[in-house]
Structure formats: structure tokens, C-alpha cells
Amino acid sequence: MSNLDHIQVWCVMCRGEIPDDRKRRRSNTCSQDCASKRNKYLRARTDARKCRFCGQPCTEEEKASYRAWRKWLREQAKVVVK
């Protein structure tokens, strides 16, 4: 008997009650469908901030800022080496 059997735990996506078998696995969602929706939401939230593959900024303003920062770093490295 799990210590979570008597506690009501709610799904973070649909607010439905999480079944006992998923409670035992410490799941945040009530079904595989809600789990996939949650994963898509988290991925979209991350993709809005940065590239999922390289970690660099993804909007045009962020890209321009990133390029300026990298240029500044290269210039600083030349000053240190001299």
C-alpha cells in the first residue's frame, strides 16, 4: 500500500484526479494524452526562448544581441592575448 493512496492528487493539465497506478509512479498527469500535451507545452515554452538544439537565442533581436556579444568576446580575447 502506497502512502499516496489516501491523498487526492490532481492532473496539472486537465485538473482531473490522477489514477492510483499513476500516483505510485509520481506522475503529474492523469493520462498519456495529458502527458503528451504537457510535453508539447513545455517544449513550446522553451522554444520561445531559445533553440532546442543549440541553446542559442531564437528571435531576430536576440540573434543580433548574441552576435554583438560574441563579437565583443572575440575582441576581448585579442586584447588579453596581446
Q: How do residues 68-79 score in pLDDT, each as one tens digit?
A: 999 999 898 877
Give the Cα separation of 29 and 35 in Å (integer): 6
- How high is the pLDDT of residue 82? 54
CB 34 within 8 A of CB 13: yes
Instruction: For residue 81, name the pLDDT band (cuts at 50, 70, 90).
Output: low
- How high is the pLDDT of residue 38? 95
Give the Cα separation of 50 and 82 in Å (integer): 34
Q: Convert the pLDDT of each residue in 7-43 to its tens digit.
A: 788 999 999 999 988 888 888 999 999 999 999 999 8
**What is this structure's pTM?**
0.59
**Residue matched to cell numbers 596581446:** 82
Give the Cα separation of 25 and 61 in Å (integer): 42
Give the Cα separation of 49 and 52 in Å (integer): 9
The distance from CA 18 to its chain's CA centroid, rounded to whole angstroms, is 22
